């Protein structure tokens, strides 16, 4: 067994408008986890985002994910020690929980000699997360598509044109659970057809950086209309981004962050979203991020 494993996992923006629970895009801001087998109790040292907010004992998501790998392989659970350096804001819609889950799964798998494929790890991530779109992007990088196949979850990774994404993260409290509970149990046939068509064109538009196509394709009827009601200031921030030159704006994952796409002018777009949230009395943080094309990266010390 290697002495210590280090994994670096990207943030992600899921759904991309119409691709609810299917599409994910990895973004260039990362969490890094070092994991090793120690003695005594499980203990995680946390730096960066989430300090004082996430548990540092065995109940931490990272350890729970790591244990899932040991359980799956019929190996006894060891005492794990780790160090997490988090760049991804928590509860943001930027894939922080998927990154934590993926980091635990991948690091544990590496400690055991990597017997599980990334597709298998994606299946475990989906069991833990309840959806696979963020985890797929975190694992594989670039633009990812996930669907059930007879052999389990299947993931396709598509390379995208070099691009940046402007993100605004309002200081609005919104958990993924709350945002999922807001969705109706059933949707109309016409809304489903609307989304299927648009999602296919979003994939093509991102691959070719066709922002004119993205402008009409990145629209959704399955989740955004229901979630916007929980996100004050967000409709105004979206309009401000479009007025500042964004071609398309989507709720990032389950929110509350917004992801804006444009060929240029990302800082101005981010500033416009920030100002619109400010006018609504809501503080926000902004990011201009490249797409991460690599997905999870692993290094080991023996």
Contact footprint for ligand HSE (CB under 6 A): 14-15, 20-21, 93, 131, 133-134, 176, 179-180, 223, 253-254
Whole-number minimum distance, CB 13 to ligand HSE, in Å? 8
Q: Which is nearer to ligand HSE, 21 or 49 (CB)?
A: 21
Q: Which is nearer to ligand HSE, 134 or 157 (CB)?
A: 134
Region of 161 please: left (phi>0), alpha (psi -120 to 50) or beta.
beta
Q: Judge contact between 233 and 48, C-beta under 8 A.
A: no
Centre a 10 Å sphere on the Cβ of residue 223 and count the other Cβ atoms it contains.
Answer: 24
**What SS3 class is residue 274?**
helix
Whole-number minimum distance, CB 126 to ligand HSE, in Å? 11
Q: Which is nearer to ligand HSE, 28 or 95 (CB)?
A: 95
Q: Judge contact between 137 and 144, C-beta under 8 A.
A: yes
Whole-number minimum distance, CB 139 to ligand HSE, in Å? 15
Q: Judge contact between 258 and 168, C-beta under 8 A.
A: yes
Whole-number minimum distance, CB 250 to ligand HSE, in Å? 10
CA proximity to 165, closest of 218, 128, 124: 218
Task: Output phi, psi for 30, to 5 deg.
Answer: -130, 155
Whole-number minimum distance, CB 264 to ligand HSE, in Å? 27
Whole-number minimum distance, CB 243 to ligand HSE, in Å? 26
Whole-number minimum distance, CB 19 to ligand HSE, in Å? 8
The angle, 0 to 180 degrees and rounded to 10, between the axes of the packed helices 133-140 and 118-129 is 150
DSSP state, 257? Answer: -
What is the DSSP secondary-structure string of 167-223?
EEEES----HHHHHHTS-S---HHHHHHHHHHHHHHHHHHHHT-HHHHHHHS--SSS
Q: Which is nearer to ligand HSE, 4 or 92 (CB)?
A: 92
Q: Judge contact between 144 and 131, C-beta under 8 A.
A: no
Q: Which residue is nearest to ligand HSE (CB)?
A: 253
Q: Which is nearer to ligand HSE, 21 or 116 (CB)?
A: 21
Q: Which is nearer to ligand HSE, 34 or 144 (CB)?
A: 144
Q: Which is nearer to ligand HSE, 93 or 295 (CB)?
A: 93
């Amino acid at each position: 067994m290697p002495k210590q494993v280090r994994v670096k996992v990207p943030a992600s923006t899921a759904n991309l408008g119409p691709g609810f629970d299917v599409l994910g895009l990895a973004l260039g801001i990362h969490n890094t986890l070092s994991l090793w087998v120690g003695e005594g109790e499980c203990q995680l040292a946390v730096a960066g985002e989430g300090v004082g907010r996430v548990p540092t004992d065995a109940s931490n998501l990272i350890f729970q994910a790591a244990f899932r790998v040991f359980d799956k392989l019929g190996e006894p659970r060891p005492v794990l020690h780790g160090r997490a350096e988090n760049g991804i804001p928590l509860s943001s819609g930027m894939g922080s929980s998927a990154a934590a889950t993926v980091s635990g799964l991948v690091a544990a798998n590496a400690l055991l000699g990597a017997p599980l494929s990334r597709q298998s790890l994606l299946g475990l991530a989906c069991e833990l997360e309840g959806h696979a779109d963020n985890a797929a992007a975190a694992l594989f990088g670039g633009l990812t598509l996930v669907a059930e196949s007879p052999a389990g979850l299947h993931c396709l990774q598509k390379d995208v044109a070099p691009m940046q994404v402007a993100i605004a993260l309002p200081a609005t409290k919104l958990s993924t659970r709350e945002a999922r509970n807001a969705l109706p149990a059933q949707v109309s046939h016409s809304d489903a057809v609307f989304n299927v068509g648009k999602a296919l064109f979003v994939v093509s538009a991102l691959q070719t950086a066709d922002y004119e196509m993205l402008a009409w394709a990145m629209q959704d009827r399955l989740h955004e209309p229901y979630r916007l009601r929980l996100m004050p200031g967000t409709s105004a921030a979206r309009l401000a981004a479009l007025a500042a030159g964004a071609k398309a704006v989507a709720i990032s994952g389950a929110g509350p962050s917004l992801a804006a796409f444009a060929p240029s002018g990302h800082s101005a777009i981010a500033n416009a979203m920030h100002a619109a949230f400010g006018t609504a009395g809501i503080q926000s943080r902004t990011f201009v991020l490249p797409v991460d094309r690599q997905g999870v990266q692993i290094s080991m010390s023996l």
